[in-house]
């Protein structure tokens, strides 16, 4: 076996267990190939071969002839096992050196590092030669007590319940206050259009128009300069700004602290400016005892917050769904395994319960009826029916006899089986599926990364555009006042020209800010 080499081949196009069996069966017949192990989910084959007889490229070619895609993987370190241990009983640097030097002399250990401060040992080993139990035994023989670093088997880090709750609350609060604001707005629009029609038919003077306008209930001023409409809008807007927008304010603050501008910053900017501007304009109107009600933006923040918090809420619900599926997958993993020692003629000599992380390749594992398979492997002895529905979706139990493969996480039904472990730890089909789903959740789609990058430039540029709008209109107003006068609603001679210009400029720039917020890019 000294002359044997090992290589890894990336295999594409495998769809099910029969593909795996097909590759393994055909390659074992070839000269120079000592053994082959194919992992379906990881899409790779581990081949032990005699370099004097065959080359890795030829092995890949053999797999290609069977109709699969195959490329030799250059970095062969992928098959190394990694072990994290907590070692108790170390007192000084010489203990550390003792453990490290002994392990490095052990055949099959490729790398070892022990940290005295954290009591942790990090070990890389070749699973063909040595396994985690052997490593632990070596450390025990030196007089220390090693134990596995407990992996968090629950998927608590994937729980989105809290976020779902907070965005739902945010959405509901905004919605409750948004509906009346929208009602008021639509009512005003309808009344306005009726008025303009009346104006078109009966050529009324402006004074009569104003009289009609102020006779509308909502336009009625119960305090000088403060109409019912504006007062109601203000009352409805305050709780939204406080409670509906709370999470946006927090996230915007965090983003600004790190000197970045995300969508939250833009939302907070737009809603705050709209709110503050409207509030100030109301105060000014009340101070001036203005006859004409000022144009306010109190309807903007509630509607923006409704759309955006709805988007966030849906996003977290969707994330929560995949996380739930993942949590269920993780819970399918067995936590312990029964390892047996066989004598001649497969006589059971001894058996022991070990943590599933400690099962090594080539171990003989006993699975009793009703038990879960802790690792992937081949059946050596026994006949049984196995429920593999978690992996294959096959509702009917599958018959297993010596030579058949079994999948970790599936459930043994009626007979006791002895299996030989082929894929253990992170290499089992179930672990690979969990890993794939986790990666899919944490990685962003390329278009999403692009959108994030864009929104980094998008926010500052929108702010810049709205500032330009503000100053442009101020300049235009002072150069040619008639343009502003034409577009400014409710202009009357009681307000000074300068104030009209400033107000109009603010309205234009706030409009730019608010329109940019619920843009499809931000919502998506």
Q: Is 328 strand, coil or helix?
A: helix
- The whole domain housing 46 covers 5-72
- Which are the contacts of 275, defined by CB distance < 8 A and separation ≥ 6? 237, 241, 297, 298, 301
Lowest-confidence region among 187-196, 238-247, 484-493: 484-493
Q: In what order do the strands lie in the sheet with 398-400?
A: 398-400, 384-387, 411-412
- Which are the contacts of 457, defined by CB distance < 8 A and separation ≥ 6? none
Q: Is 43 strand, coil or helix?
A: coil
- Which are the contacts of 387, defined by CB distance < 8 A and separation ≥ 6? 397, 398, 410, 411, 413
The pLDDT of 169-193, averaged and rounded, is 84
The pLDDT of 386-397, averaged and rounded, is 87
Q: What is d(CA 468, CA 472) in angstroms, rounded to the nearest whole number?
A: 6
User: What is the per-residue pLDDT for 430?
Assistant: 85
Q: Is residue 38 included in any domain, yes or no?
A: yes
Q: Is residue 508 included in any domain, yes or no?
A: no
Residue 355: pLDDT band by 50, 70, 90 thresholds?
confident
Task: Give the CATH number, domain containing residue 66.
Answer: 3.30.70.100
Q: Are residues 346 and 221 in the same domain?
A: no
Ranges of H-type helices in 290-344: 300-331
The pLDDT of 413-435, averaged and rounded, is 87
User: What is the per-residue pLDDT for 378?
Assistant: 92
Q: Are residues 281 and 176 in the same domain?
A: yes
Q: Is residue 464 included in any domain, yes or no?
A: no
User: What is the per-residue pLDDT for 495?
Assistant: 67
DSSP classification of residue 417 = E
460: left (phi over 0), alpha (psi -120 to 50) or beta: alpha
pLDDT for 83-110, tens place per residue? 888 998 888 888 888 899 999 998 889 8
Q: Is 141 strand, coil or helix?
A: helix
Lowest-confidence region among 23-37, 64-78, 262-276: 64-78
Lowest-confidence region among 39-53, 67-81, 159-173, 489-503: 489-503
Task: Give the CATH number, domain containing residue 401.
Answer: 2.70.150.10
Paired tokens of 213: 């306008």
pTM for the model stands at 0.60
Lowest-confidence region among 150-159, 309-318, 429-438, 507-516: 150-159
Q: HSE, CB side, 13 Å, CA atoms: give it for residue 332.
A: 24
Query: First and final CA of the chain: distance in angstroms?
Result: 58
The pLDDT of 336-341, averaged and rounded, is 91
Cβ atoms of residues 184 and 218 within 8 Å? yes
User: What is the per-residue pLDDT for 153?
Assistant: 58
Residue 479: pLDDT band by 50, 70, 90 thresholds?
confident
Across 310-314, 387-391, 395-399, the highest mean pLDDT is recorded for 395-399
Residue 507: pLDDT band by 50, 70, 90 thresholds?
confident
Q: Is residue 300 included in any domain, yes or no?
A: yes
Residue that wins the pLDDT comparison between 524 and 318: 318
Cβ atoms of residues 365 and 375 within 8 Å? yes
User: What is the per-residue pLDDT for 205?
Assistant: 62
The pLDDT of 352-380, averaged and rounded, is 91
Residue 275 in this model has a pLDDT that exceeds 70: yes
Q: Is residue 483 included in any domain, yes or no?
A: no
pLDDT for 441-468, tens place per residue? 666 677 767 776 776 778 888 889 999 9
Residue 16 in this model has a pLDDT that exceeds 80: no
Q: Are residues 172 and 318 in the same domain?
A: yes
Q: Are residues 136 and 162 in the same domain?
A: no
The pLDDT of 1-7, averaged and rounded, is 75
Q: Are residues 396 and 303 in the same domain?
A: no
Q: Are residues 218 and 366 in the same domain?
A: no
Q: What is d(CA 503, CA 371) in angstroms, rounded to the nearest whole number?
A: 75
Q: Are residues 97 and 144 in the same domain?
A: yes
Q: Are residues 365 and 342 in the same domain?
A: yes
Cβ atoms of residues 512 and 497 within 8 Å? no
Residue 427: pLDDT band by 50, 70, 90 thresholds?
confident
Q: Are residues 276 and 402 in the same domain?
A: no
Residue 384 in this model has a pLDDT that exceeds 90: yes
The pLDDT of 349-359, averaged and rounded, is 88
Residue at a domain's end among 72, 91, 109? 72
Which residue matches tokens 């907590």? 86
> Which of 240, 308, 227 has the alpha carbon at shortest distance from 275?
240
Q: Is residue 493 included in any domain, yes or no?
A: no
Q: Are residues 183 and 252 in the same domain?
A: yes
Q: Is residue 229 included in any domain, yes or no?
A: yes
- Which are the contacts of 496, defined by CB distance < 8 A and separation ≥ 6? none
pLDDT for 27-57, tens place per residue? 988 888 988 888 877 788 889 899 889 988 9
User: What is the per-residue pLDDT for 417?
Assistant: 93
Q: Tally Cβ neighbours within 10 Å of residue 476.
A: 16
Residue that wins the pLDDT comparison between 483 and 269: 269
The percentage of the chain sitting over the pLDDT mark of 90, rounded to a whole number, equals 15
Residue 419 in this model has a pLDDT that exceeds 90: yes
Q: Are residues 163 and 296 in the same domain?
A: yes
Residue 263 in this model has a pLDDT that exceeds 80: no
Q: Is 289 strand, coil or helix?
A: coil
Q: Is residue 317 included in any domain, yes or no?
A: yes
User: What is the per-residue pLDDT for 60?
Assistant: 92
The percentage of the chain sitting over the pLDDT mark of 70, rounded to a whole number, equals 88
Q: What is d(CA 290, CA 282) in angstroms, rounded to the nearest whole number?
A: 10
User: What is the per-residue pLDDT for 521?
Assistant: 61
Q: What is d(CA 37, CA 361) in angstroms, rounded to the nearest whole number?
A: 11
Domain count, the chain: 4
User: What is the per-residue pLDDT for 518?
Assistant: 62
Q: Tally Cβ neighbours within 10 Å of residue 520.
A: 7
Q: Are residues 316 and 191 in the same domain?
A: yes
């Amino acid at each position: 076996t000294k002359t044997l080499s090992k290589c890894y081949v990336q295999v594409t196009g495998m769809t099910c267990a029969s593909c795996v069996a097909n590759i393994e069966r055909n390659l074992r017949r070839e000269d120079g190939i000592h053994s082959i192990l194919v992992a379906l989910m990881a899409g790779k084959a581990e081949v032990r071969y005699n370099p004097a007889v065959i080359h890795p490229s030829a092995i890949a070619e053999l797999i290609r002839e069977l109709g699969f895609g195959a490329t030799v993987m250059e970095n062969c370190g992928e098959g190394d096992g990694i072990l994290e241990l907590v070692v108790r009983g170390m007192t000084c640097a010489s203990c550390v050196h003792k453990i490290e030097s002994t392990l490095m002399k052990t055949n099959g250990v490729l790398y070892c590092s022990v940290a005295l401060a954290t009591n942790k040992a990090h070990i890389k080993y070749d699973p063909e030669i040595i396994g985690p139990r052997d490593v632990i035994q070596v450390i025990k023989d030196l007089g220390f007590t090693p134990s596995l670093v407990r992996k968090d088997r629950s998927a608590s880090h994937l729980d989105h319940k809290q976020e779902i709750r907070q965005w739902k609350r945010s959405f509901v609060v905004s919605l409750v206050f948004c509906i009346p604001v929208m009602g008021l707005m639509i009512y005003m629009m309808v009344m306005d259009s009726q008025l303009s029609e009346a104006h078109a038919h009966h050529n009324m003077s402006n004074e009569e128009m104003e009289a009609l306008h102020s006779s509308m209930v909502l336009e009625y001023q119960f305090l000088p300069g403060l109409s019912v409409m504006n007062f109601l809008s203000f009352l409805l807007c305050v709780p939204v700004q406080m409670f509906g927008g709370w999470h946006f304010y927090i996230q915007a603050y965090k983003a600004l602290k790190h000197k970045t501008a995300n969508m939250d910053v833009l939302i907070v900017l737009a809603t705050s400016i709209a709110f503050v501007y409207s509030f100030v304009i109301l105060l000014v109107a009340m101070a001036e005892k203005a006859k004409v009600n000022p144009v306010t933006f109190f309807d903007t923040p509630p509607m923006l917050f409704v759309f955006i918090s709805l988007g966030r809420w849906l996003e977290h619900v969707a994330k929560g769904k995949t996380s739930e599926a993942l949590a269920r997958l993780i819970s399918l993993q067995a936590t312990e395994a029964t390892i047996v020692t066989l004598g001649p003629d497969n006589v059971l000599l001894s058996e022991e319960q070990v943590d599933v992380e400690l099962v090594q390749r080539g171990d003989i594992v006993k699975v009793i009826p009703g038990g879960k398979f802790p690792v992937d492997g081949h059946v050596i002895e026994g006949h049984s029916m196995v429920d593999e529905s978690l992996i294959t979706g096959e509702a009917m139990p599958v018959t297993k006899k010596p030579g058949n493969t079994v999948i970790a996480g599936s459930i043994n039904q009626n007979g006791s089986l002895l299996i030989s472990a082929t894929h253990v730890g992170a290499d089992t089909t179930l672990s690979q599926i969990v890993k794939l789903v986790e990666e899919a959740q944490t990685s962003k789609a390329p278009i999403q990364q692009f959108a994030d990058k864009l929104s980094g430039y998008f926010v500052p540029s929108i702010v810049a555009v709205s500032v330009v709008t503000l100053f442009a209109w101020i300049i235009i107003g002072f150069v040619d006042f008639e343009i502003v006068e034409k577009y400014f609603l409710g202009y009357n001679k009681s307000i000074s020209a300068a104030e009209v210009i400033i107000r109009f400029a603010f309205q234009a720039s706030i409009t730019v800010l608010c329109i940019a917020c619920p843009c499809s890019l931000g919502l998506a």
